[in-house]
Amino acid sequence: MGDRAAPPEGIVVVDKPSAWTSHDVVARIRRVAGTKRVGHAGTLDPMATGVLVVGVGRATRMLGYISGADKTYAAGIRLGWATVTDDAEGERLGGAAAHELAREDLDRGIAALTGPILQRPSAVSAIKVDGRRSHERVRSGEEVELPERPVTVSRFAVLDVRPDAVGGYVDVDVVVDCTSGTYVRALARDLGAALGVGGHLTALRRTRVGCFDLDQARTLEELEEALAVTDMATAAAAAFPSLTLTAADANAVRYGRAIELGMAWTRSDAPAPPHALFAVDGEFLALARPRPDDSTEYLAVFAQP
User: Where in the sequence numbering do the catalytic residues fall?
Assistant: 45
The rounded distance, in Å, linking the Cα atoms of 93 and 153 is 26
Q: What is the largest CA-CA distance in the chain?
A: 72
Q: Helix or strand or coil: residue 280?
A: coil
Nearest CA to 121 out of 185, 191, 195 is that of 185
Q: What amino acid is encoded at 150 in this protein?
A: P
The rounded distance, in Å, linking the Cα atoms of 262 and 270 is 17
The rounded distance, in Å, linking the Cα atoms of 280 and 246 is 7
Rg (CA), the chain: 22
Between the CA of residue 101 and those of 106, 191, 194, 250, 289, what are the distances in Å?
7, 12, 12, 61, 49
Q: Helix or strand or coil: residue 31?
A: helix
Q: Helix or strand or coil: residue 160?
A: strand
Buried residues in 199-220 as b, exposed as e (16+ CB within 10 A): bbbbbbbbbbbbebebebbbeb
